[in-house]
Amino acid sequence: MGVKLTQNAVKLIEEKNFAHLATLRRDGSPHVAPVWVDHDGDMILVNTAVGRVKQKNIMNDPRVGISITDQNNPYERVEIRGRVVSQTREGAEEHIDKLANKYTGKKYQKSSPDEKRIIIKIEPLQISS
Secondary structure of the chain in the HEC alphabet?
CCCCCCHHHHHHHHCCCCEEEEEECCCCCEEEEEECEEEECCEEEEEEECCCHHHHHHHHCCEEEEEEEECCEEEEEEEEEEEEEEEECCCHHHHHHHHHHHHHCCCCCCCCCCCCEEEEEEEEEEEEC
What's the pLDDT at 71? 94
CATH number of 7-128: 2.30.110.10
Query: pTM of the entire structure?
Result: 0.94
Q: How confident is the model at residue 1 (pLDDT cuts 50, 70, 90)?
A: confident
19 confidence band (pLDDT: 50, 70, 90): very high
Query: What percent of the chain is modeled with pLDDT above 90?
Result: 91
Q: What is the pLDDT of residue 101?
A: 96
pLDDT at 10 over 90: yes
